[in-house]
Amino acid sequence: MEKKRVVITGMGTINPLAHNVKETWEKISSGVSGIDNISYFDASEISSRIAGEVRDFSIDGLYSESFKKQAKRMDEFTHFAMAASNQAVADSGLDISADPFGTGVVIGSGIGGLPSQQSNAASLAKRGPRGVGPMYIPATIGNIAAGVVSMELGIMGPNMATQTACATANHAFAVGLMMIQSGYCSSVLAGGTEDSVVEISVAGFARMQALSTNFNDTPAKASRPYDVNRDGFVISEGSGMLMLEELEHAKARGAHIYAELASVGMSGDAHDIVVPHPEGVGALHSMQMAVDRAGVNIDEIDYINTHGTSTPLGDIAESKAVYNLLKGREENVHVGSTKSMHGHLLGATAALEAILCIQAINNSLVPPNINIDEFDPKVALKEGTINTEAVQKPVRVAVSNSFGFGGHNSTVVLKKYEE
């Protein structure tokens, strides 16, 4: 039986650059950074004092009247997911109420409700058990964003959450793809969300020596994948959502199709808790699986949005994997990491990057890689392959990687839609 094709008919995002897809893309294509000094709390005693914060965000008008009271007790990762989901559904034009069991939802978070975890732990230490709020558990569990979104939007089909660190959103797309192809539903709202610019989180990553510390006075320059002076990632927050839909279902209702989700590749490093395999073996397997399942030849790949977190080890390992995937044929492909502009949104990052790949396809433009002042010669790719300026070119096939602590590797292949 012929495999069902899955397409993207709606997109939505909240991130450090903007509160919607259009403005986000305008800033990305122009090389604008969304990284700044932390304003949410006093970070003066933390070695890394910069982040990609979602500024000027409000939940006013976000929820129904019946849920407003409960919504105020939810953490921001749920609010971000709700805002991005509303955008994606509206963009798709899908009437969920016409067949509520025909739509599913898969929304993941790498960590879940960090603010409530921090505040309730502090209150427990100070006041004992009575200091723990009655909404502590439902506000913090990683699946609650999927639950709230399904309730608010009336989605009654399969309802799931993924939690694989920074690979979370790509794995949400994988589950959505398989749900549709297996006939569980005809459409799936899928993506990731993260509320990670929280004192305990920033302090924790800083103690791991995972964050950039050398650019506290020049935050816009801190996220610099493939630059010789990169010194760690920049933590960010936000959400990204896609409406995935079975092709014939989308065509029957006259939906606008942005791109095709051709395949997802997955693997595990089985190497270290946080350090990637130095030769990128697992990353290569994930990419090769995705490309093979999409039926794409290496020469057809136009753009690879790498995980590229701006860490000394991670960027090198992934570059080796990309080199081995391309087998030295770099003439027609551009490679880069948009994290140079939006930072690392953890469980939401793959969703935002998938949206940017879709925008690259629809706008025939490869985003720039900013902050490469001196290309690292250890990167296993030709310097020109990683473009520092936006490149106007047809993008028919885009590959997007996202890897997570624990050795979780994920890759999506997005294609220009063709009949």
CA nearest to 228, candidates 350, 305, 315, 161: 315
Residue 149, number of CB atoms within 10 A of its CB: 25
Q: What is the dihedral of CA 172, 176, 182, 185, to 10 degrees?
A: 140
CA atoms 205, 16, 346, 335: torsion sign: negative
Q: How far apart are CA 6 and CA 249, in angstroms?
A: 10
CA nearest to 260, candidates 6, 4, 10, 3: 6
Q: What are phi and psi of 26, to 5 degrees?
A: -60, -40
Q: What are phi and psi of 17, to 5 degrees?
A: -90, -40
Instruction: DSSP for 272-330, please give it.
Output: -SSSPPTT-HHHHHHHHHHHHHHT--GGG--EEE----S-HHHHHHHHHHHHHHHTT--
Buried b / exposed e along 82-110 (16+ C-beta atoms within 10 A): bbbbbbbbebbebebeeeeebbbbbbbbb
Active-site option among 146, 166, 175, 247: 166
Contact 16, 53 (CB under 8 A): yes
Helix ranges (H only) for 182-300 are 199-207, 247-252, 281-294
Written as six digits, the tokens of 363 are 């706008």
CA geometry: angle 201, 282, 209, nearest 5 deg: 30
Instruction: DSSP for 30-68, please give it.
Output: TT----EE--SS--TTSS--EEB---S---TTTS-GGGH
CA nearest to 156, candidates 99, 196, 197: 99
- Is 357 part of the annotated catalytic residue set? no
Helix ranges (H only) for 54-153 are 68-71, 76-92, 114-127, 136-140, 144-153
* H or E element at residue 11: strand 6-14
Contact 166, 53 (CB under 8 A): no
The residues that are catalytic are 166
